[in-house]
């Protein structure tokens, strides 16, 4: 038994020990096991085949504990700094109060209809900070947290094995059909303007949605070949086991017959570096277009002293485009002018 299989067995066992909710019609939700299809994912598919790119969950605080306990838990297990918590006067999706977690997501609590639960949404930047996913799995199982959404992503930086045209062909070949009928499909076409295309397969309302999109172009590089396949799973008619966070590759490869080929190793660091470099280049181009002429005049006024110019215009902070990327990665950005 592989490590991922052991983790899946552990995750399934944890789910067996609790009372599963029923749908409005009384049917028992099915447990997601490596995906939603009857085909077998590649046995070599591991956690390295995909990354967790979004994670949402709900839980009840342990008896006698408050949000202070959860603040510490999110710091220790999920690497969310306590100092980014910011209470708001707004609610969120039926919860009475919302807490923003900086650039990393949100937390919601309060409200009689929520039956004492707390909900946490962690975005891609937050997921990138998590060091030990096995610790997250154990935490979920220990405190009986219910995963309500998880996004699993695979990146093809060269766009060879995975691209929009290939995904369209797979759809017409029936390789995204999992329950006897083809899922809904929609193509958002940029007509080759460089903004990037997106192919949607499935419906979010049904709890399962696949996005195949030109990630590099979405980030601002019109010549990028980077393509991403991302499956969004929600707990609608299904129970998402905690093991999904330690074996995202197996669950992604098992989501559709078309994705069973996934074997290439994914490196979170490489994904972050590629995204940061593209966003940095786009930021520089926007700055050049918006203020390049003004900087040119300032250089003439200061006799070509670039340091004097920078000293007059630099300010604290990070542009929203780069917010959330670890500052430790900035030295790795390719500084070659594009």
The per-residue pLDDT for range 203-243, each reduced to its tens digit, is 999 899 999 999 999 999 999 999 999 999 999 888 899 99
Q: Do residue 209 and residue 286 come from a single domain?
A: no
Output the pLDDT for position 5: 43
Whether the per-residue pLDDT at 81 is higher than 90: the answer is yes
285-326 tens-digit pLDDT: 888 888 889 888 988 999 988 888 888 888 888 887 777 676
What pLDDT score was predicted for residue 113?
A: 83
Could you tell me if 150 and 177 lie in one domain?
yes
Residue range 47-70: mean pLDDT, rounded: 92
pLDDT of 85 above 80: yes
In this structure, the answer to whether residues 124 and 222 fall within a common structural domain is: yes
Residue of higher predicted confidence among 131 and 282: 131
Cite the DSSP H helix spans in the chain: 3-16, 67-78, 124-129, 133-142, 164-172, 215-218, 248-253, 268-301, 306-313
Q: In terms of domains, do 129 and 162 share one?
A: yes
Of 92, 44, 75, 63, nearest in space to 260 by CA: 44
Residue 11 has pLDDT above 60, yes or no: no
Quick check: 112 pLDDT over 90? Answer: no
Domain boundary pick from 251, 266, 281: 266
Q: Is pTM, for the whole model, over 0.85?
A: no
Residue 327 lies in a domain: yes
Helix 67-78 with 133-142: angle, nearest 10 deg: 150
Average pLDDT taken over every residue of the chain: 82
Nearest CA among 113, 115, 104, 100 for reference residue 59? 115
pLDDT of residue 137: 97
Percent of the chain with pLDDT over 90: 52
pLDDT at 91 over 70: yes
Per-residue confidence (pLDDT) for residue 160, from 0 to 100: 87
Q: What is the pLDDT of residues 40-49, one digit of tens each?
A: 444 444 446 8
Give the per-residue pLDDT at 260.
84
Question: Do 162 and 106 share a structural domain?
Answer: yes
Q: Do 282 and 201 reside in the same domain of the chain?
A: no
Give me the pLDDT at residue 48, please.
60
pLDDT at position 21 is 35
Are 198 and 101 members of one domain? Answer: yes
Average of per-residue pLDDT across 12-35:
40
Q: Which residue has the higher pLDDT, 169 or 49?
A: 169
Least confident of 41-45, 116-120, 246-250: 41-45
Instruction: Tell me if 233 is assigned to some domain.
Output: yes
The mean pLDDT of 133-137, rounded to a whole number, is 97
Both 255 and 300 in one domain: the answer is: no
Residue 337 lies in a domain: no
Average pLDDT of the residues in 166-174? 95
Q: Per-residue pLDDT for 22 more than 70?
A: no
Q: What are the distances in angstroms from CA 137 to CA 241, 242, 253, 282, 322? A: 9, 5, 20, 37, 29
Distance CA 219, CA 36 (A): 30
Most confident of 20-24, 144-148, 282-286, 312-316: 144-148
pLDDT given at position 95:
96
Question: What sign has the CA pseudo-torsion 195, 196, 201, 204?
Answer: negative
Does 288 lie in the same domain as 255? no
Q: Same domain for 172 and 289?
A: no
Degrees (nearest 5) of the Cα angle 190, 266, 270? Answer: 75
**Nearest-angstrom CA–CA distance, 259 and 161:** 11
Residue 207 and residue 229 in one domain: yes
**Domain end: 266, 300, 321, which one?**
266
Domain that holds residue 138: 3-266
Residue where a domain stops, chosen among 228, 245, 266: 266
- Looking at residue 286, its pLDDT comes to 80
Q: How many domains does the chain have?
A: 2
């Amino acid at each position: 038994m592989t490590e991922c299989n052991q983790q899946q067995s552990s995750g399934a066992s944890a789910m067996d020990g609790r009372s599963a909710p029923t749908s409005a019609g009384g049917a028992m939700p099915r447990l997601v096991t490596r995906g939603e299809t009857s085909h077998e994912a590649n046995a070599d598919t591991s956690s390295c085949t995909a990354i967790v790119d979004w994670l949402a969950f709900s839980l009840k605080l342990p008896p006698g504990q408050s949000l202070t306990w959860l603040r510490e838990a999110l710091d220790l297990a999920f690497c969310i700094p306590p100092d980014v918590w910011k209470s708001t006067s707004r609610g969120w999706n039926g919860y009475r109060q919302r807490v923003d977690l900086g650039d990393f997501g949100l937390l919601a609590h309060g409200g009689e209809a929520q039956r004492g639960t707390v909900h946490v949404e962690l975005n891609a930047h937050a997921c990138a900070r998590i060091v030990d996913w096995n610790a997250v799995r154990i935490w979920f199982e220990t405190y009986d947290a219910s995963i309500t959404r998880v996004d699993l992503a695979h990146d093809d930086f060269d766009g060879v094995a995975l691209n929009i045209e290939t995904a369209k062909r797979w759809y017409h070949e029936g390789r995204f059909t999992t329950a006897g009928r083809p899922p809904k499909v929609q193509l958002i076409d940029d007509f080759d303007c460089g903004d990037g295309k997106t192919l949607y397969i499935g419906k979010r309302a049904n709890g399962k949605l696949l996005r195949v999109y030109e990630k590099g172009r979405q980030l601002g590089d019109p010549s990028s070949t980077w393509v991403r396949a991302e499956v969004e799973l929600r707990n609608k008619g299904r129970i998402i086991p905690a093991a999904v966070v330690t074996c995202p590759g197996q669950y992604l490869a098992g989501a559709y017959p078309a994705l069973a080929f996934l074997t290439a190793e994914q490196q979170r660091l490489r994904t972050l570096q590629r995204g940061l470099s593209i966003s940095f280049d786009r930021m520089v181009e926007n700055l050049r277009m918006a203020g390049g002429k003004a900087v040119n005049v300032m250089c003439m006024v200061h006799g070509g002293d670039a340091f004097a110019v920078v000293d007059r215009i630099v300010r604290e902070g990070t542009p929203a485009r780069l917010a959330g990327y670890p500052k430790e990665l900035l030295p790795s950005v390719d500084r070659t002018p594009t």
